[in-house]
Amino acid sequence: MQLNAAGLGFQELNEKLRETDDPEVTLEGCIGQRFIAAGMSGKHIGIHGIAGNALGAYLNGSVIETFGNAQDAVGDTMNEGRIIVHGSIGDAAGYAMRGGKIFVQGNAGYRAGIHMKAYQEKVPVMVIGGRTGSFLGEYQAGGVIIVLGLGRGERPIVSNFPCTGMHGGKLFLRSDCAGIHFPHQVHHRIAQAEELDEIRPHIAEYCQYFGADAEELLSAPFTVVTPDSGNPYQQMYVAN
């Protein structure tokens, strides 16, 4: 099914998406409509244009592929599925996501992965191809965040205050992170071979979508960041 989003409000657009029985939907002319495919399962949705805030919020198994940038709160509280962005995204991507994967070819704004968590057997994953703004992984409680730093030039791979309040999960930065300040409640070090093996499938999937070489990406040093098991956030929020 092909649907022209131009001139449609976000409610009307989402109603049309829910009404169709076609599992393959292409949206043309998207002009910033919010909440596209919120809570949906069982569909593959291709978006041409710019997706608005909360793309794929509460996503429950659908695949969304957008051929352009997306605004804030991509994948807010998503449960399952894939969001693939051929462009960059705004702030607070993956807010409280507890399952599924988000792949971003370009950059992410502030607070990517804030309150990201794992839930039972679900382990959410976010792979960002470029760099990120401040407060990456803020209050991260689970899951995996990977930032590749492609095309960033001389700019740091992440801006200020990464991993503030982190109390679970792992964060991988394709950089030695010299000059980046991390808070006291996390550990950061160069990732070992077995840790890179953990993220190899996710990087390979990123390369499948965007055309990079996984082994070349993995040949560079990665910094892995994990919470300090003795920090107060661990005691407050993570069960032993």
Q: Distance between CA 81 and CA 124 in Å, rounded?
A: 10
Q: What is the mean pLDDT of the chain?
A: 94
Q: How confident is the model at residue 239 (pLDDT cuts 50, 70, 90)?
A: very low
pLDDT per position as a tens digit, 75-95: 999 999 999 999 999 999 999
pLDDT per position as a tens digit, 117-161: 998 899 999 999 999 999 999 999 999 999 999 998 889 999 999
Residue 17 in contact with residue 43, Cβ under 8 Å?
Answer: yes
Would you say domain 88-237 falls under CATH 2.160.20.60? yes
Q: Distance between CA 39 and CA 238 in Å, rounded?
A: 27
Closest C-alpha among 49, 51, 46 to residue 24: 46
Q: Beta partners for 85?
A: 66, 104
Q: Distance between CA 179 and CA 22 in Å, rounded?
A: 51
Closest C-alpha among 122, 70, 120 to residue 100: 122
Average pLDDT for 225-231: 81
Q: Whole-prediction pTM value?
A: 0.94
pLDDT at 134: 97
Helices (H) and strands (E) in the chain, counts: 4, 11
Burial of 223 (0-12, 13-18, 19+ CB in 10 A): buried
Which of 8-12, 184-188, 229-233 is the least confident region? Answer: 229-233
**So where are the chain's domains?**
88-237
